[in-house]
A and B are shown apart, each in its own frame.
Chain A
Amino acid sequence: MAADKSEVLQGTLDLMILKTLQALGPLHGFGIARRIEQLSEDVLTLNEGTVYTSLLRLQQKSWIASEWGVSENNRRARFYSITQRGLNQLAVETENWERIAAVIGRVLALEAKA
């Protein structure tokens, strides 16, 4: 594990998964892991197993649903999809994230000036 890679913040993974499912539609765990890997461009690193902990958590909150299906290479796999509640939550979380990011950004910029 490279030292310069950031640890995935607790909670951010949930948001990333929700967004991924919203953008790409139903996906299995492997596909989600690939998508995050691809998007993060190796800046973020995670044990892929962690995705499943997150998936379970989201499922318990009814933000995503799952059903068994067949993967592109003919394997039985569990496909996850975002629910209406999940979509609402994604909107709220996205807004939160942007606000916090903006605040943090401003704070950091302020310090840079001083």
Chain B
Amino acid sequence: MFDRALTFLAKIKGLVGQRRADVAFDEEMNTHLEMLAEKYQREGMTAREAIRAAKRQFGNTTLLRQRQRESRTTMFFSKVWRDVRYGTRQLARTPVFTIVCVLTLALGVGANTAVFSVMHAVLRKMLPVQDSSHVFYLHTTGYPDGASQTGDSDTSFAYPMYQALREQHGVLEVMTFIPMSSSGKTSIRVGTVPEEAAGDMVGGNYFSGLGVGTELGRGFVQKDEDDHTSVVVISDSFWETHYQRSHDVIGKTLYIKSVPFTIVGVARKGFEGTEGRLPLDFWIPLQSRPEFNAWGNPAEYGMYLTTPNKWCMKLMVRTAPGISREEGLARAQGIFARVAYAGVAPKHAGDETYKLSFNEAKQFDSQDDSFARSLKVLMMMVGLVLLIAMSNVVMLLMARNASRQREFSVRIALGAGRGEMARQLLTESLLLVALGGAAAWIFALGATRALGSWAHIQSNLQPDGAVAWFTLGVLLLLALVFGLAPLRRAMSSGPEMVLRSSSTVSHTSSQKVRAGNAVIVTQIAMCLVLLVGAGLLLGTLRNLLKTPLGQKPEGLLVFGVQPQHAHTKEESIAFFVALQQRLRTIPGVQSVSMAGNRPGSGWSDNNAGVLVDGHKPKGVEPEQANYRHNTVGPDYFRTMGVQVIRGRDFSDADSSTAPKVLIVNETFAKKYLGTLNAVGHVLSNSKGLEPNLIVGVVKDHKYTSITEEATPMIWDVFTQGDAVSQLNIEMRVPNDPMAMLPTVRKMIAQIDPDLPLMEPMTQSAVFEQSISQQALFARLAGCFGVLAVVLIATGLYGTLAYRVSRRSAEIGVRMALGAQRLQVVWMVLRGSLSLTAIGVALGIPLAMAAGMQLESSLYGMKALDIASYMFAILGVAFVALVASAVPAGRAASVDPIKALRLE
């Protein structure tokens, strides 16, 4: 055994320096021959005789040299290399076949891998924390009346809950993390330029409890939380982008909301926080300064640490070793029942009991369903495309190898070994799959990134290697099975096959034709499903783009501003009033206003409870009177390009000391006042307090998104409303809004050098982004539809062309016997058209079933949209016609004399 290993090693070593070894051996042989000749000469032979005798005695030198070379090293590699070269030549000889196969594999496998990887990341991937199966996000089904919370109601808890859970040593360890603002981002400054970065305030045990180490420096300790120290841990990618991975980053100062923090550590690479889609740049210990209130909320309504009814802390737990998930949850539920009502009225008998739940520590907690659903639909489409692609490759391989029957027979007749032939065919298949695989991986890299950015997942997304390997493995298996199938036939029929006339053996068996037909029918059915799906989704996109917004987002620049030094409501109002005045002075700016919630971003304040002039609003119970709400600035509707149909826009005169005013939309006026003439009426809350005068009625327009239905809506002006910590500035400019950005930045820097512009973009882009998911979804579906059509076309064309070429003798005979060219063409077309008809008939019910699944993703469309179905059916029929036209033409141009002579 050991000897064999040594021999093998020696042979491997022999791979290098083959030439040198050859030269050395030649020298050795020559010396030997010369010495032998000398010996014979000494024994009395003539010089010539001696040389001949020596050669005779030594044996065949060429053969010996060859043997020596073979045993010196392993022949395996050179044989494989020969097969690879031969295979490459074979593939290069049929470039169309090769390119079609490789592209088919690349698109099929690549798209599959990309979609699956994103799905995996979204639905499966666990946080990169230690022993993640024991770590859970804490969720609740609700919160008691009187508690104020942040909007993320199922993940928000109050400080007493956190405190109580902290005492459960031995059962649970609780970690808390609080976003710096509702967008998750806040203003920071590394050098001189302020920017926005995402960060969380976390408990002292955040890193140790999760089991996340550091690349550099330290994580937090309990003292950091207790003393609210001004230290910060940055993420690995922030370290890279802002400090170029410099090791003296520890001890440097990072300004967060103008407050200096000392960098004490860099978190382990790959850990990007526990906020799901949003990768975090930094973490700081829980802070007690008013400007660091949870979620960036104004401290006026209470700091999160001291206000027991403020539900704003996100919690994660780690169950202690030996404690099951159920035991941990039971303990947490018990504590929750005890502390949930801290700071609010105690629970009434009969009130709903709020239930806690432990959610697995996945990378993306509480993913919104629409996204997962879109991914699943996409996955189904990709699956269909992959099926079509695979059956195509298989059919192409089969057709190609069947037409090589003659080549195989000749090679067997010339003495090729079965092993050799099999190895060579396998090499060819492997080569094809390897090429396809490489192309697929490149495609998957790009596609995964594109899908990730579509989903707004900025976390480290990579194509999933396991998926790629699995898909490739299946393809490989298919390639092997179908690559070798013709060989078996060639073997069993033996070399004499080549001697027979090709037409006698080549007319395909009816069984094979039926199998081919079944594949084509299935492909056409699947193609129809894909085309109907694509049609529905593209129709949806068209409807979305055509929907009137009721405003003019073109020419509007929007950016968020968080005043750093405004600690009270008055300071904040003064800041924004001054800011508006300053921005108005920029040359070219037509008007400036602001909005609490950026239109088109999906955010909205949703309220209920209103009295009109002290009465029920037109028969609706006051508590049931729902409406959306936004806080805006003077000139808002003029700036946004919304038509004011009654009364007036907000103006600078609507100051904090002026009478409180409101503007409502058409729907609100009609629904709750019964008339568009709402100006002059007074709205108050359901208790009849806080009266506001309606001063204007505006036309309905889109607020949260393009797809929203017209909803009753109220606007108030920020100078008279609740305190705001951030406003979005809307600026109307004559040209490209983004061109105005540098000027604006300069002006803002003069006001406060620590003030970044948050998410600056054009207002059009905000609306575009709001449908980016649907748009990409529709475009991808369209791509898959086109892809399927192309695949069907190539598959159909390949199969028909192959059949026609095999039947040319038969066609020749038919024509010799008087068949007209038209009849021949019809014969071919009839075949493919009847296949298409069967495929369509099978595909329609499938498409209807698939359409039902899509229903919720559609906008302005019905699942049974006749146009989409007609488009799909005509598309498939057209493709079938085009794909069969060339083979049909070829059949018609068969020269009967030639065809018969060839046999």
Contacts and interface: CB of A to CB of B under 8 A. Distances in A.
Interface of A: 28-30, 33-34, 47-50, 52-53, 56-57, 59-62, 71, 73, 75-78
A57 B72 CA distance: 8
Among A29, A50, A56, the most chain B Cβ lie within 10 Å of the Cβ of: A56
A30 B68 contact: no
B801 to A, nearest CB: 54
B71 A52 contact: no
Contacts of B10: 59-60, 62
Among B7, B29, B32, B61, the most chain A Cβ lie within 10 Å of the Cβ of: B32
Given A52-B29, A53-B67, A56-B68, A30 B35 contact: yes
A77 B60 CA distance: 20
B6 A49 contact: no
B351 interface: no
B58 interface: yes
Interface string B139-157: 0000000000000000000
A65 to B, nearest CB: 12
A48 B36 contact: yes
A57 B28 CA distance: 16
Contact of B35 (A59, A60, A75): A75
Given A48-B36, A50-B59, A61-B3, A77 B31 contact: yes
A49 B60 contact: yes
Contacts of B28: 29, 52, 77-78
A48 B58 contact: yes
Interface in B10-24: 10-11, 24
Nearest to B4: A61
Contacts of B306: none
A60 B225 CA distance: 69
B49 interface: no
B64 A53 contact: yes
Contacts of B39: 34
Contacts of A73: 35, 38
B7 A61 contact: yes
A52 B7 contact: no
A93 to B, nearest CB: 12
A85 to B, nearest CB: 9
Given A29-B28, A56-B68, A60-B10, 19 more contacts: A30-B31, A30-B32, A33-B32, A33-B36, A34-B39, A47-B57, A47-B59, A48-B32, A48-B59, A49-B58, A49-B61, A60-B6, A60-B71, A61-B3, A61-B6, A62-B6, A71-B31, A73-B38, A78-B24
A65 B667 CA distance: 100
A62 B13 CA distance: 13
A71 B669 CA distance: 117
6 contacts: A28-B32, A29-B32, A47-B59, A60-B10, A60-B71, A77-B28
A94 to B, nearest CB: 17
B445 to A, nearest CB: 45
Given A49-B29, A78-B28, A56 B71 contact: yes
A28 B28 CA distance: 9
Contacts of A59: 10
Nearest to A61: B3
Given A30-B36, A47-B59, A76-B31, A52 B6 contact: no
State which size class the interface on B falls in. Answer: 20 to 34
A68 to B, nearest CB: 8
A59 to B, nearest CB: 7
Nearest to A59: B10
A88 to B, nearest CB: 11
B570 interface: no
Contacts of A78: 24, 28
B456 to A, nearest CB: 62
Nearest to B30: A75
A49 B34 CA distance: 13
Interface in B502-559: none
B65 to A, nearest CB: 9
A61 B112 CA distance: 50
A30 B34 CA distance: 10
B878 interface: no
A59 B3 CA distance: 11
Given A57-B71, A60-B7, A71 B64 contact: no
| The 9 residue pairs across chains A and B that have the minimum distance between CB atoms | A47-B59, A60-B10, A49-B59, A49-B64, A60-B7, A30-B35, A61-B3, A30-B32, A48-B58
A76 B35 CA distance: 12
Given A53-B67, A71-B35, A48 B57 contact: yes
A53 B65 CA distance: 9
Interface of B: 3, 6-7, 10-11, 24-25, 27-29, 31-32, 34-36, 38-39, 57-61, 64, 67-68, 71-72
Contact of A53 (B3, B11, B36, B68): B68
Contacts of B11: 60
A52 B57 contact: no
Contacts of A53: 64, 67-68, 71
A76 B27 CA distance: 9
Contacts of B6: 60-62
Contacts of B32: 28-30, 33, 48
Nearest to B3: A61
A62 B32 CA distance: 23
B744 to A, nearest CB: 78
Nearest to A46: B59
Contacts of B71: 53, 56-57, 60
A48 B33 CA distance: 10
Nearest to A32: B32
Contacts of A56: 68, 71-72
Nearest to A1: B56
A75 B32 CA distance: 10
Contacts of A57: 7, 71
Among B31, B36, B67, B72, the most chain A Cβ lie within 10 Å of the Cβ of: B31
A64 to B, nearest CB: 12
B52 to A, nearest CB: 14
Contacts of A30: 31-32, 35-36
Nearest to A63: B3
B323 to A, nearest CB: 60
A48 B31 CA distance: 13
Contacts of B3: 61
Nearest to B56: A47
A83 B431 CA distance: 45
Among B7, B28, B29, B71, the most chain A Cβ lie within 10 Å of the Cβ of: B28
A71 to B, nearest CB: 7
Among A33, A52, A61, the most chain B Cβ lie within 10 Å of the Cβ of: A52
Contacts of B27: 76
A75 B37 CA distance: 14
A33 B35 CA distance: 11
A9 to B, nearest CB: 17
Nearest to B28: A78
Contacts of A49: 29, 58-61, 64
Contacts of B36: 30, 33, 48
Contacts of B7: 57, 60-61
A2 B244 CA distance: 84
A100 to B, nearest CB: 20
B205 to A, nearest CB: 61
Given A60-B11, A61-B3, A62-B6, A52 B35 contact: no
B31 A52 contact: no
B296 to A, nearest CB: 75
B71 to A, nearest CB: 6
A80 B68 CA distance: 17
Contact of A52 (B38, B60, B64): B64
Contacts of A77: 28, 31
A79 B38 CA distance: 19
Contacts of B72: 56
Contacts of A47: 57-60
Among B24, B57, B61, the most chain A Cβ lie within 10 Å of the Cβ of: B57
A75 B28 CA distance: 10
